Chains A and B, each alone.
Chain A
Amino acid sequence: MNDRPEPMFLARETYRRRRLMDAARFLPFLGAFVFIIPALWAQATGTAAGKIYIFGTWICLICLAFIISRRLPTAGQADEAEKEPGRSGPG
């Protein structure tokens, strides 16, 4: 009988979706954090190096946003009811 793990798998799916939404909420705070950092050390840094830092983190944030937006469910369907798993046991 291998239909036991199925509900577990679905639950985990929902769980992961919830955490993904948390990530989406966290992302702007991460962005604000990394962009404020230069205010602490920039006095001692050259423009070229600063530019590399800013644009580097910028690209990272864009990539994260891309990944999250691709995986997030379309609006409002986050709490979809779990479907009943079909029985597919031998018999």
Chain B
Amino acid sequence: MLSFNLLVGVCLGYVCLLFLVAFAAEKRARAGKAGWLRSPVVYTLSLSIYCTGWTFYGAVGNAARSGLEFVTIYLGPTIVMIGWWVILRKLVRIGRTQRITSIADLISSRYGKSTSLGVLVTLLAVVGTTPYIALQLQSVTLAFGVFGGPSRDGNATAVWVAIGLALFTVIFGTRSLDANERHHGVVIAIAVEAVVKLVALCALGVFVVWGVAGGPGDAAQLIEASPISQWDMQPDRWVTLTFLSATAFLCLPRMFQVLVVENSDERHLATASWAFPLYLLLISLFVVPIAVVGLAVMPAGANPDLFVLTVPLAFDREGLAMLSFLGGFSAATSMVIVAAIALSTMVSNHIVMPIWLNARSGGATVSGDVRHVVLLSRRISIAGILALGYIYYRYSGGGAALAAMGLIAFVGVSQVLPALIGGIFWRGATRIGAGLGVAIGFAVWLYTLFLPSFGEGVVFPASIYEVGPWGIWLLRPQALFGIEGMDPLVHAVFWSLALNMAAFFIGSLLSFPRPLERLQGATFVNIYRYSDSTRGWGQSFVEAEDLLVMAQRILGAGDAQALFVRVAAEQGKRGYLPDVTPEFLDLLERELSGSVGAATAHAMLGQLTGGVTVSVEDLMRVADETAQMMEQRIQLEAKSGELEITARQLRDANEKLTQLSVQKDAFLSQISHELRTPMTSLRAFSEILMDSEKMAGSERKRYSSIIHDETLRLTRLLDDLLDLSVLENGQVTLNTQPVTVSAVLDRAIGATQSRDEANSLRIIRERDREDVTLVTDPDRLAQVFINVVSNAQKYCDAATPELRISVSAVGDRVVVDLIDNGSGIPKDSQSMIFEKFARLSDQRAAGGAGLGLAICREIMVRLGGGIDYLPGQGGAAFRVTLPQALAAAA
């Protein structure tokens, strides 16, 4: 007999391996080398979380009890997958273009970004998934029990498994916020587990067929001779289960997560359409032989759910038993991990965030770090969901056959089906209809299946089953409306979905949708026609800078800035602040909804833009329903959009030219001024010295020193001009060498501080992040830093001036942000500061000719990088970007 400790050891080793695999995958993905991590094979394997511990242990048990019925659980998904062109393709397209994060988000988004629907679907999913998680805990605990004997405490095992799973999920599931960044580590770990499951079950099957039975022919004879030789077909259960499994495959939150949210390429679906049914076929191929052999060799009364473990143990194949155990362990853990991720996303986006937003109404977008709140709420949700699963396991008696618990969960989540399918194929479906349908289906499910599943007398007294609640005979939980004799499961599926669909249909027909609902309905149903634009934002008055401040809190500074720069570039503008057009707001909303869900993102933007929801223009679009008109409109829009961009670019270019000519004049005039001023002093004092012989020694000395200082000033100016002209003409020779950012900053700060002691600028640095080695010209780079630091010294107007320097590496580029705590540079001056002689306040005291930042800009261009003003940071903020290694350019 295998020792229990050895088993625990192997288990821990396996978990460590998964950690390593997930960690390595995350690392690769972060380095931008996702590559094969996102292949169709990995996608297909990740779908195998459909096959849980239930599949692994329960299928054999089910086969031992009712023959081939177990196979229906795989036939449903097979039908859905081979029919990918009809439903899944559309779901994936919608998911990708609308940045959908979960099935609750899809439903909420489709029905006018409704918060209440999101909450409803989330609740349904949590209640429907809890028994399922309990089922996984039970399967692992039972499996441990097989090896550890009855003396082992099953509850303790379940607790440890739940804690371990919560930990893994928190670490790899809540790493990145944006759901579209996807969970590379988790997906790879699941793919590995998928392979382990398949190999384990096939190995056992091969052993049973060839090792025990003596070949396929003998195995067939064994089946003929077994108690399940006659196919005990119940047609109603057969059809219902097939339908139910197809439905659950679409509606289960975890399946939606891997099918839609984690999908990185629509074409992977084409591969999975045949590869996943093949996987299902392979995993169910040996179920009947294992069950038959189990029935033959195991003593009567042995739990058929555990044949997968007990059969190899009965033949003393401990290695095989161990492999089987790992297979079952894989199946259970991968399901729990993905389900917890999917549910936590739903809970945080649809329950926690709306509450949090309401609690801080008005100020939500201006203060506080939303990312932090979202991540924290997800982590807590994960722990909460696993705790719920454990509690269900403890108090449901834990003894029910695995398959029954799984089916109860299936029926629960299936209640989303009418709203889901209706939502993507029928424009007339409304929020009221969807809400009614889901709520009624949910209630019927609770009443007829979920609550009775705790056993007679636990929730409902036995009398309710006999005579109905309050003696109403028609409402007996397992014989609604007096129809008796149905299988309880078939009964529940039939009534819950029938009433659900009826409510959905009638509710939709009788209610009138809000404009946003109609808009979303048209977009979802016609997703192929106009792939990427949903109009929700009319013209509004909000500053791009405010939007940037908010977006930085949710998407993170780097991503938000990249997005804004990209949009500005598409509009033909330079810099970080694009025009606030309805298109831009739409895009921003979609990006944000990838992080916090559609309804929340809509609400947050609504707060900023002053509650604008739908404009007259949008209403007209809705009214305009013929496809032809739509197409013409789209074409026209595309054209006018192009024209607008061209016009804007031309306008910009023209403005630039005019500016250039004005600048040239101004430049000459400035040069003249800057040169003549010191020359005036020189001439005046030299003449004074020349024509007054009888001057006191002290006076003479003073005037000579003025002449001396003015000469120096003139020389400095000429140096700067020369420097600038050399840089602008590209005749500069760079002296590149490897150096750390830290060293260059040390030098720059040393040089500026010795110059001015009185004006004490406090410099805050993060030394541990500055240890980035660059290949660049350290002298030139130091010159840039000196300029920015001394500008902060001169112009920072805070009571206790501070300059924060932060260094980060983004890909192969290094970014250095220098941010002070002063009042910053006014928006209309931001575009000027890099121009020559642009001194904002006319303070001579500041010294210098106003060429500093112009020189900095030229230097950064030569170094292959750039220097920009970063708006929206509080004070004056400069961002210096440069490549880690300067390409050897001539």
Contact = CB atoms under 8 A, between A and B. Distances in A.
Are A and B in direct contact (Cβ within 8 Å)? yes
A61 B270 contact: no
Interface stretch (B221-229, B570-578, B585-593): B221-229
Interface string A38-67: 111011011110110011001101111110
Contacts of A32: 79, 242
A47 B230 contact: yes
A76 interface: yes
Interface in B250-307: 266-267, 270-271, 273-274, 277-278, 281, 285, 288
A58 B274 CA distance: 11
Given A28-B83, A42-B233, A74 B288 contact: no
A40 B89 CA distance: 32
B395 interface: no
B235 interface: yes
Interface string B79-115: 1111111100100010000000000000000000000
A10 interface: no
Contacts of A24: 83-86
Contacts of B281: 55, 58-59, 62
Interface stretch (B67-75, B200-208, B611-619, B861-869): B67-75
Contacts of B85: 21, 24-25, 27, 68, 72
Contacts of B660: none
Mostly, the A contact residues are helix
B528 A46 contact: no
A47 B238 contact: no
A32 B78 CA distance: 9
A24 B228 CA distance: 37
A59 B93 CA distance: 28
Contacts of B93: 75
Contact of B277 (A42, A43, A61): A61
A44 B84 CA distance: 34
Given A21-B85, A46-B230, A35 B242 contact: yes
A71 B865 CA distance: 47
Interface in B144-180: none
B220 interface: yes
B235 A48 contact: no
A46 B229 contact: yes
Contact of A46 (B89, B231, B267): B231
A31 interface: yes
A38 B238 contact: yes
Interface in A1-43: 21, 24-25, 27-29, 31-32, 35-36, 38-40, 42-43
Contact of B82 (A38, A40, A61): A61
Contacts of A69: 84, 270-271, 273-274
B293 to A, nearest CB: 14
B306 to A, nearest CB: 21
B86 A50 contact: no
B421 interface: no
Nearest to A45: B231
B67, B75, B239, B271 — most chain A CB neighbours (10 Å): B75
B82 A48 contact: no
A55 B282 CA distance: 10
A70 B275 CA distance: 12
A47 B274 contact: no
Nearest to B272: A69
Nearest to B277: A62
Contacts of A40: 235
Interface residues of B, number: 41
A50 B223 CA distance: 11
Contact of A28 (B67, B79, B235, B531): B79
Given A35-B75, A58-B277, A61-B78, A43 B233 contact: yes
A39 B83 contact: no
Nearest to B288: A51
B403 to A, nearest CB: 18
A27 B84 CA distance: 9
Contacts of A58: 75, 78, 277, 281
Contacts of B288: 47, 51
B528 A47 contact: no
Nearest to B291: A47
A16 to B, nearest CB: 16
A34 B779 CA distance: 77
A65 B267 contact: no
A21, A47, A54, A74 — most chain B CB neighbours (10 Å): A47
Contacts of B83: 24-25, 27-29, 31
A42 B242 contact: no
A49 B587 CA distance: 57
A50 B233 CA distance: 10
A27 B309 CA distance: 38
A35 B93 CA distance: 29
Nearest to A50: B231
A25 B86 contact: yes
A21, A45, A46, A75 — most chain B CB neighbours (10 Å): A75
A76 B528 CA distance: 7
B31 to A, nearest CB: 28
Contacts of B267: 74-75
Contacts of A51: 68, 223, 288
Contact of B229 (A48, A54, A61, A72): A48
Contacts of B220: 48
Contact of B231 (A47, A55, A61): A47
A35 B67 contact: no
A26 B281 CA distance: 21
A27 B82 CA distance: 6
A72 B231 CA distance: 39
Contacts of B242: 32, 35-36
A55 B281 CA distance: 7
B279 to A, nearest CB: 10
Given A43-B231, A50-B231, A61-B277, A28 B86 contact: yes
Contacts of B274: 62-63, 65-66, 69
Contacts of B226: 47
A25 B238 CA distance: 24
9 A-B pairs with least C-beta separation? A28-B83, A42-B233, A24-B85, A39-B235, A66-B274, A65-B274, A69-B270, A65-B82, A31-B79
Given A35-B78, A62-B277, A68-B85, 9 more contacts: A29-B83, A31-B79, A32-B242, A42-B233, A46-B224, A59-B281, A62-B78, A62-B278, A69-B84
10 contacts: A28-B80, A31-B82, A38-B238, A54-B68, A58-B75, A65-B81, A65-B274, A68-B273, A74-B266, A75-B93
Interface of A: 21, 24-25, 27-29, 31-32, 35-36, 38-40, 42-43, 45-48, 50-51, 54-55, 58-59, 61-66, 68-70, 72, 74-76
Interface of B: 67-68, 71, 75, 78-86, 89, 93, 220, 223-224, 226, 228-231, 233, 235, 238-239, 242, 266-267, 270-271, 273-274, 277-278, 281, 285, 288, 528, 531
